[in-house]
Structure 1
Amino acid sequence: MSNDLAIGIDIGGTKVAGGVVDGEGRVIARARRDTPHRSTAPHVVEDVIVDAVKELLAAAPSRPVAIGIGAAGFVSSDRATVVFAPHLSWRHEPLREALRQRIDLPVFVDNDANASCWAEWRFGAVRQESHVVMVNLGTGIGGAILTDGQMQRGRFGIAGEFGHMQVVPDGHRCECGNRGCWEQYASGNALVREARSMIAANSPMAADMAAMVDGDPTKLTGPMITEAAQGGDSTAEELLAEIGTWLGVGLANLANAFDPGAFVIGGGVSAAGPMLLDPAKASFRRHLSGRGYRPEARIVKAQLSNEAGLVGAADLARTEVEQAGGAQ
């Protein structure tokens, strides 16, 4: 363990999660912070990251070899700059250089979904699969493509932004600036939006969920909806099934583009399990072109849960250092 530790930091829309990760993908120390509001200056987010890294360095049994950052946004192909982060204030933010000036370790930045996909391929649900597409359902939708052990980042580093495929012309406005993006129909935000609208409209069908938040729809969260569905709330089940149906539509489109052997579904919404994935699988089969005459990709739930991003970010950073012979 003395020379295979790395730190992974996963920056999401609501939390910054960090961990010290060994070469087998085990998290041996953890840190967590709230993500600063999107209007906050970029250096404040960097302060939060540095603070979490310092805590993890103090907790590590030996000095890690590198730090990997998984960021929810568009990351440049040189893995140094966050070009655009819909849920943060980063716009062409030189994140790697900013952090290297404050942390005396090699730093690598990647998209958070790339990090999660790498972790699931190395240690989780899709080990040994040669062609993987990951879809992360969280605040928005992140995505990643892995082929023959290589992350496919695209010419400019922005491959895998599946959440911003347009599925409904002139549909709901998205934070990216367009309308009708997939994540407006199949993400955690979409799930919460629909449930809150029912509570705000005093729908009797949402009475149980309204009771959970004392009638205040702004207090309702995605995990609460999942909890309600798991407790037998038929409206919550219906909302999850609707999200799953839209998920299946998008997966069928992605199958046409990438023909993977497996889709791995991660992110917080995936905690709903079969209530989400069963409708997704049915919708996928219904919308897949050439259905009945082509092999179908497996659709599996991610195994590493909320820690996939930090585990993958750490392992990608360690891999980079190893491939460079210990020098960045």
Structure 2
Amino acid sequence: MWYKGREGERLGIKGPTLTIPNLTFKNGGLYRCLADNKVGKAAHAHVEVFVEHKPVVSIEKYMVNTATENDAELKCIVKAYPVPEVLWQRNGKNIDVHTPRVKLHSKKNEYIENILVITSVQEEDFGQYTCYAKNSLGKVEKVVSLVKTPAIQEFVKPEKPHKDVVLTWKVESKAPVSKHELQYRRRGESEWQNIEPEVTKEDEHKYVVKYTLKGLDAGSYETRLRSKNEHGWSDYSPVMPFEGVLAKHGSTHKSHKKHHHKEKDQKDLREKQLPPPQGTPAQQQEFEQSPPPVGASQNGSEVSRLSAILLSISLLFLFRMQ
């Protein structure tokens, strides 16, 4: 039996040979083969697979909120083989990680966890930082922002809504949050619907934003959020998708009414563009076969034939009289 990873994920494959089709970097790692014939202890052996690939970089938090005189941690996780060089940059220059207030911690397992620690943050420390990773196969960089304004951390996607849709966001801010602005719209539209949810504090510096959309039409939607503290508004979060549900009868939701009127206007426009009714097939046949009305112009050939018949009768009568 074959297992993968240090935690021993069971692969469900038996036999002495493990074949990995369409190999990607995700297949790299530690594998274990376990043999057991129920006699004595099971035997096992390990093999580590290295897949060469350019760096793959992920960021724990793309926006990190802090305040002056507080500490901040910017975390960058890198996976690559050959082992990459990982650097932090700001304004295109490498950050000196040997200064009294800046430290770099690095942990290496199946990946490299690179943590830039800034202690006693000062005004000049706020801004954008770049995690830069490179090896012989390529280079990748990701940007992290250190901010005083609120940091929008996560959108919790609704789970298969059957009745109402609950939009949930998570926000972090050292300074108290005074306001949220949540926006949503049907996908493909340009106009956002604006909502100001209640400010609810979950933990010391963590906030949960929740808002329930009632009577929302079925379809695909998208949402975004920004929050405000004493330092100003945050940037809008990335736009996140979610699905609507069937609207209730008599719903007064603005979006529902707007889409109802839009569909009605489109229907009226289509009806105006249709050609005039032509009648049923039976009516068309009756119209095509009905004789021309009295007084209508007759065919010239029918008149000529009638005149010829009258002339023939007159000549026959005169011949008999002679």
- TM > 0.5 between the two? no
State the structure with bigger RCO (CA 8 A, min sep 6), 1 or 2.
Answer: 1
Greater Cα radius of gyration, structure 1 or 2: 2
Q: TM-score, normalised by structure 1?
A: 0.25
Q: TM-score, normalised by structure 2?
A: 0.26
**Larger strand fraction of residues:** 2
